[in-house]
Structure 1
Amino acid sequence: MAQRTATAPPEEATARAPRRGLLRGAVGRSLGLWLLLLLVLAVCALSITVGTRPIGLGTVWQALTDAATPGDETVIIRELRVPRTLLGVLAGLALGVSGALMQGHTRNPLGDPGLLGVTAGAAFAVVLSISVLGLSTPSGYVWFAFAGALLGSVAVFAIGSGRGGATPVSLALAGTALSALLFALVSSITISSADTLDAYRFWIVGALAGRDASVATQVAPFIVVGLLLALLNAPALNLLNLGEDVARGLGQRIWVARSVGLGAITLLTGAATAACGPIAFVGLVVPHVARAVTGPDHRWLVPYSGLLGIVFLLLADVLGRVIARPGELQVGIVLAVAGTPFFIALIRRRRLVTL
C-alpha cells in the first residue's frame, strides 16, 4: 500500500525554502561586488561635479591634481564638495553595514541601526552640549554625540541583559523604551530654550552639508574599527541565524558573537550619527536590497550593504542639491520622502523581508 506523505502548506514551505539572491556562486557575487565598486566611484564623481553650481569633469580633475589652480571652482571642489563626498562615503558605508548587522542579530526585518538607543543617546548628548556648553557647530559637538551614542547602547545592553542574558527581543524592547525616555528629555530641553532648538534642528534633520573635513577625520577611525568587527562577525552571524542551539553545538560562543556584533553596530551607527545626525532609511532599506542580490549569507551581505549604502546616500544628497536650486534639501529629508514608497514596495514582496 502506498505510503501517504504529509505536505506542508505553501506558506510554510516558502518560509522553509532557502532564500537565494539574484547572484549565485562566489564568482557571480565577486563580479557583482566589483561592478558595485565601479558604481560607487561613478556616484562619487557625480557628487563632486553636480550641485547648485555644475562643474565639468576637466575642471574637477585640474582642481584635484593642482592645488595652485585659481578660481572659485577650485575652492568649491576642494573645501566643500570633496569633504562632503568623503563624509557621505563614510556615513553610507557605516549605516549600510550596521543595518545588515542589526537585522541579522535581532532577526527583525524592520530593524534599524537606531534601535539600540544609539540615535536617542546621541541626540540627548548633542542637546546637552548645546544648552550647557553653548556649542553650535558639528565639529564642536561631534564628540559629545559619539559619547552619547556609546552610553545609549551600553545602557540598552545593560537593561536588556536579564538573568538569561541579552536576547534580540529584550534588546529591541530596551532600546525602544530608552529611546522614548531620552527623546522626551530632548523635547523638554528644546522647548524651554529657543537657542538650543535652533542649533539642534540643524543636526536632527540629517545632513552632509556644513561639515568640514575635520568631522570626517574625527569619525573615520571608529568607522574603520567598526567595519573590521563587522567583517569578523559575519561568519558567526550566519551560524546564529541557524538557531542558538545549533550555533552552540557547532562551537560558536553566543555571547562573544553578540558582543562583537553590538560593538560594531554601536561604533558604526554612533560615528555616522555623530557626524551627520540621524539619517533614516539607509540602514533599513539597503540591507533588504543587498539581501535580494546576495541571499542571506552575511559574508557577502555585509560588504554589499556597505557599498549600496554609499550609493543610496550620495545619490540622495545629489538629488537634494538639484531639485531645490539655488538652495538644497538636506539628505535626511530626501531619503525620508524617497525611502517611504520604496520601502512600501519592498515589504509588499514578502520574500525580501523574511529573515
Structure 2
Amino acid sequence: MTAATVRIRSRVPWRVAGVCALLLLLLAATGLASIALGAVPLSIAEIVDGLSGGRNAFIVMQYRVPRILVSILAGAALAVAGMILQGVVRNPLASPDVVGITKGAGLGALLAIILLPPAWQIWAIPVGVLAGAALAAGALLMIGRHLGGGAATLALVGVAIGALAQAAMQFLMVRFPGGIDQSMVWLAGSVYGSTMADVRILAIWLAVCLPGVLALLFLLDLTSFGDDTLTSLGQHPIRIRAVLIVLAVMLTAGAVASVGSIGFLGLLAPHLARILVGPKTRHLLPATALMGALVLCVADLAGRLVALPNEIPAGIVASVIGGPYLLFLLLWDARHHGR
C-alpha cells in the first residue's frame, strides 16, 4: 500500500464527518425556520418564550416542534429503508415506493380507514400499515424466489406489486367514497397534526429497528459482490435479501404509519448521500439518515409556505422534487451507457 493510498483513505472519515456536520447544521437551520415561519410568524424571542412555556407555547410545542421531530424521524427511516433496498436489488433507482412496499402499506392503512369505525383507527391504521407492508414484501419475496430471486427480478416484481396495490386503493376509494377525504390527505403524505405522542411512538419503533440496522450493515456490503461471489463465500443470497427486505419493511411501516405515503424520498436521499460520501455502508448510513430527515423537513416547510394560509402535503412537495430528479437519473444512465 502506497503512502498516497494511506493518505486518501485517512481523509475519507473526515469527509464523512464534514458532510454529516453540514447536514446537521442545515437540519438545525431548517428546524428553526420551520418554528419561526408559517401562518403566524414568530421572532427568535417569541420562539424562546414558547419553548419555555410562555404565551406562544401552544404554537411552538404543540404544533410546530412535533411535526419537525416527526419529519426528522420519518425522513430518516424512509431514507435508510431506501438505502437498504438499493443495496438489496443493486440498483440506485430502488426505493420503498418503487418496489411496492409503500403502496402495500398504504393499501393496509386505507382498508383500516374505510372499513373500521373511527374509534378503532388509532391502533388499526398502524396495524394495517404494518400488515400491508409485510404482505407486499412477502409477495415480493415469494414471487421473486419462484422466478429465480435475482436482484433485477425483485425490482420488476416490486413494480408489479406496487401497481396492483395502487389499483386496489383506487377501487376502494371509488367503492367507498365516504372515506375519500381523510384517506386522500393521508395517502398524499403529510406531517400535519403530528403530536408528541406520535414522536414518542415513532422514536421507540426506530429504536427497536436501529440495532438490526447496525447488526446487518455487513450483509448490505456483501450484496454488492453479486450472487456467485456470495455463494462462494458460503452465504445464501436469497436469505440475505429476505432479511434485509424485512428490515426495510419495518422502517417503512413505522414512517408510513406516522406521515402517510411519501414518494421518492427513499430514492432521493440515499442517492444524494452516496454522491457526497461514497458507497461504503458505514459511511452511507449516517449521511443517508440525515439527508432523508433534511429533505422531508424542507418539503414540509415549503408546503406550509408556498400557499399560505393553506398547506400542501409534504408528500406532494417531495414528489415534485423527486420526480424530475428520477427523470434526470434515467436520462443520465441512458447517456452514460450509450442508450
TM range (shorter): 0.7 to 0.9
- Cα gap change, 1:341 to 1:156, in 2 (>3 Å): closer
- Cα gap change, 1:212 to 1:138, in 2 (>3 Å): farther
Letter in 2 for 1:25: V
The corresponding residue for 2:269 is 286
For residues 208-247 of structure 1, the aligned pairs below 5 Å read 208-247=191-230
Deviations 1:275-304 (A, max 9, x none): 111111211111111111111112211221
- Cα gap change, 1:149 to 1:216, in 2 (>3 Å): farther
User: Is 2:70 aligned against 1:125?
Assistant: no
Identity %: 33
Tell me the secondary structure at the aligned position of residue 231 of structure 1. Answer: helix
The corresponding residue for 1:206 is 189
CA distance in 2, matches of 1:352, 1:235: 33
- Cα gap change, 1:145 to 1:162, in 2 (>3 Å): same
Offset of residue 324 of structure 1: 0.8
Q: Which consecutive unaligned segments of at least 5 residues does structure 1 have?
A: 1-20
Which of the numbers 146, 163, 175 marks the counterpart of 1:180? 163
Offset of residue 345 of structure 1: 3.8
Deviations 1:158-195 (A, max 9, x none): 2322285x332332233233323332222222102221
- Cα gap change, 1:136 to 1:121, in 2 (>3 Å): farther
CA distance in 2, matches of 1:60, 1:305: 29
Tell me the secondary structure at the aligned position of residue 161 of structure 1. Answer: helix
The corresponding residue for 1:40 is 27
For residues 55-74 of structure 1, the aligned pairs below 5 Å read 55-64=42-51, 66-67=52-53, 69=54, 71=55, 73-74=56-57
Which of the numbers 297, 316, 331 marks the counterpart of 2:299? 316
The normalised TM-score by structure 1 is 0.83
The corresponding residue for 2:135 is 151
Letter in 2 for 1:28: R
Given that 2:212 and 2:247 are in contact with CA atoms closer than 8 Å, whether structure 1 keeps it comes out as yes
CA distance in 2, matches of 1:120, 1:28: 36
Say how many residue pairs are matched. 328
Larger deviation: 320-329 or 344-353?
344-353
CA distance in 2, matches of 1:121, 1:43: 31
Letter in 2 for 1:145: V
Which of the numbers 227, 238, 253 marks the counterpart of 1:270? 253
Given that 1:239 and 1:247 are in contact with CA atoms closer than 8 Å, whether structure 2 keeps it comes out as yes
Deviations 1:45-85 (A, max 9, x none): 22222222111222222322x23x2x2x2101111111101
CA distance in 1, matches of 2:126, 2:212: 22
Tell me the secondary structure at the aligned position of residue 136 of structure 2. Answer: helix
- Cα gap change, 1:156 to 1:243, in 2 (>3 Å): closer
The corresponding residue for 1:189 is 172
For residues 18-29 of structure 1, the aligned pairs below 5 Å read 25-29=12-16
Letter in 2 for 1:282: L
CA distance in 1, matches of 2:78, 2:291: 10
For residues 2-17 of structure 1, the aligned pairs below 5 Å read none
CA distance in 2, matches of 1:336, 1:44: 21
Given that 2:15 and 2:277 are in contact with CA atoms closer than 8 Å, whether structure 1 keeps it comes out as no
Given that 1:156 and 1:178 are in contact with CA atoms closer than 8 Å, whether structure 2 keeps it comes out as yes
- Cα gap change, 1:52 to 1:353, in 2 (>3 Å): farther
User: Is 2:325 aligned against 1:338?
Assistant: no
Tell me the secondary structure at the aligned position of residue 114 of structure 1. Answer: coil
The normalised TM-score by structure 2 is 0.87
Which of the numbers 161, 184, 198 marks the counterpart of 2:145? 161
**Root mean square deviation of aligned Cα:** 2.7
Say which one has the larger Rg.
Answer: 1
Offset of residue 205 of structure 1: 0.8
- Cα gap change, 1:31 to 1:252, in 2 (>3 Å): farther
The corresponding residue for 1:104 is 87
The structure richer in helix per residue is 2
Offset of residue 146 of structure 1: 2.5
- Cα gap change, 1:201 to 1:137, in 2 (>3 Å): farther
- Cα gap change, 1:40 to 1:145, in 2 (>3 Å): same
Deviations 1:9-64 (A, max 9, x none): xxxxxxxxxxxx9x952222223222322322222222222222111222222322
Given that 2:97 and 2:264 are in contact with CA atoms closer than 8 Å, whether structure 1 keeps it comes out as no
CA distance in 2, matches of 1:351, 1:302: 28
CA distance in 2, matches of 1:79, 1:288: 34
Given that 2:266 and 2:292 are in contact with CA atoms closer than 8 Å, whether structure 1 keeps it comes out as yes
Which of the numbers 90, 94, 97 marks the counterpart of 1:114? 97
